[in-house]
Amino acid sequence: MQARAMFGGYGLYVRGVMFGLLDDDELFFRTDEVGRARFAEAGCRMWTYGGMGETGYYRPPDAAHEDPESMEAWARLGLEAALRRKALKDQKARAAGARRAARERKARSGKKPAPARRTSPPGRRKR
């Protein structure tokens, strides 16, 4: 595990992903749509920083601070959420790279690339 200074606290990293943070001597773990409900059901408090709104980091229950096995389970939820987030970002980056490579191949072949299609945001109609 590695800790890096950030937000006036420390980001906690494992396997190259930030899965938790320490702020004002409090520990918070990353959540996502998969694990967030467990934190909410346990009455855990969300980390807030200034006017950022929802951050996706929650403090584990007080009881977990006294029980290493329980804390490990909460930390594992945070690590799994961070790894899922990284996998999604990597997948998007690979897809963008594939699209870029296809455009470059098309450009090298002498064919004019098709213009990028613009779409309206959901709920808005083109006029």
Mean of the pLDDT values across residues 15-38? 93
Task: State whether CATH 1.10.10.10 applies to domain 2-108.
Answer: no
Domain ranges of the chain: 2-108
Given this model, what pLDDT does residue 126 score?
A: 57
Minimum mean pLDDT range among 18-27, 49-58, 70-79? 49-58
Q: Which residue has the higher pLDDT, 43 or 49?
A: 43
Q: Which two tokens mark 63?
A: 């009881």
Mean of the pLDDT values across residues 21-30? 94
Q: Which residues contact 6 (CB under 8 A, 6 or more apart)?
A: 21
Work out the angle at residue 77's Cα, subtended by the Cα atoms of residues 1 and 48, and round it to the nearest 5 degrees: 85
